[in-house]
Structure 1
């Protein structure tokens, strides 16, 4: 790390803004006297933070973006990097915040009493990226937070009928993880689904659109793809679904041809809303077939997907945030929500309402500038802890509005809250 700046601060009032690497990486303002969240388990460094770049034992570690509010009335300084997304650190030392980085960064302080300096920085970033108007997001029902990987075709149809009978303002029925035969095997179905084409026709018959979840750059060790194409695989992508995970070499033409075939097939089956997840696997460090950098390879894979789905709505998740600007319509800006308020292991990158709320607020300035912010799904069935608080977060910061309860499990308050939040979607314009 090379020195970048040293700022005198009021230690009692100074704050540091740390921007995490990907959707699930904790992102927020912190007291300068503290230390930001760190992974609790080693695999989480790969899956929820930045692989190969752990934070310091004490202080702060932003990926491509970090800000310092000196707390003494002076201007907020915003530090950011270029295409390689340098890691930027800050530490409080003898009444000064010392900033360092592992690559070139620039400093701006163009906020004011009425303009958030992060919002001003994002305006400049969006202009440099050539961003045009942001597309509005449809509302959605998602299968994940009740059924998880056990979802069946019958579950989808049950909720489709319940949504239709209740006249809930849901535009898209999104089938989440569990429809496919394996992680990486997107061309074959699990035994719980018979026909995606027939299912999308049933959905269309109610006047709604069909959405689907895919983790396109991720491959499970048990998958047929891993067995048949070991030369397509790169890196350590962590461990989940009781198996080790690898990424795909997105510089291999056979891999991008495969991605186009997967997404063209799903599009032709009737899907025009795609939630693509675990996207960090496309930007893992390490050599590739071509000389592209990991982030260049990631963009190559994302463009292949967009070519296959045309103007379908594309929602990113688990994605490197700054490298994804201009590549998706909507972006998850937080960790997964969960029926439990706190993460089970204390790691705020892991599923919980606390972690989801932290980064949803911390990245609010990106909505309407980079994309539509997705704070994750509204879940308000009675079994959800502190459900009123989570509904308030979605109401205040949810650009993309989706719900994920089994409709039959909602009580009167839950049903009315779901109806209200789906009917009051904010425009794809900056919150501030």
Structure 2
């Protein structure tokens, strides 16, 4: 599953949200500027908005509730676009960190409603000072934007130093991932004190959110690395079709779904007694940037591609079966007694049947980052998983894949991260902010 093929919105997104203030669309209209002007910023943004606009009742353009028992962006219906960003804290002043987290929370809640970061932030205020919102999302709907925060091991203890007096609150599970075979890690794409995952159905909305959080964080945090993703590679609800990765195979067929409460409690949510109380109800986020050797794959026969994956490329059905969602049957063999799902096939090694029942909630995205200077595409999968226990779920599964997976000939892992994501913020609790369960 850590490889490419592992297994309540408003009907009127232009309306003024319940929390007051202006919606981006209402403010944009008042300014008398057409959405096409801002939309021309990028072809990718236009494509994202066109897709959302074609959805009946504007379901893909409305807001996702920011508050609730869980953070949005974990079991939320997977959106089409992602901007994943990690930050390093550049201060040792605890109060400054808390104040930034409070400010980020206010901004995040407004942006997920389709509002500016501050009322009139892009067009009102002191004309001799920078605006309090960068403005590129003016006129755009909320686009189901979700913002999910997590804290890395170094946030608690960095170079042996307890910068913010919270080292004793670090969960035992929150440690840097071990080295696995088939890695060519770039240190600049690993780690981070804080992560914010922005997902939306419009790439410009997601980028706007991260850009503004980074803007106000200057002096307290600095961007460590970020990754843009497109074409979600997981379905988190049953009404979403299984998407495809850049190898052309359906990805995440066996992913956990948001209505599988018992399985989510077993595999995703941190339970009372699992660790420190502040994380109860939260989850662990594991990220892996997986570079695909696109050119080699594209010269590989269809028979070999299907052997490596263990599924049929067209239908997504397991080898030897006809329907995508039929249960994997590892006992089906050809007339010579050879298993139709190869012993080294990815779906076999990543399956719950092979791994003692281990399951992950996947939330990955495709990426293309230009070329590598040698005529090869720098493209692949930005894999994201949410788990209850990294040591009992992700690490043993990845060790098995790294040792035996036939897919390793065509991929390499180039970036990695692990973060503890706290529970959601209660509705009506104005004192709660991102990380408030940690700092109280």
Could you say whether these structures have the same fold, taking a TM-score greater than 0.5 normalized by the shorter chain as the test? Answer: no
When normalised by structure 1's length, the TM-score is 0.23
When normalised by structure 2's length, the TM-score is 0.23
Higher-strand-fraction structure:
1
Higher-helix-fraction structure:
1
Structure with more relative contact order (C-alpha pairs < 8 Å, separation 6 or more)? 2
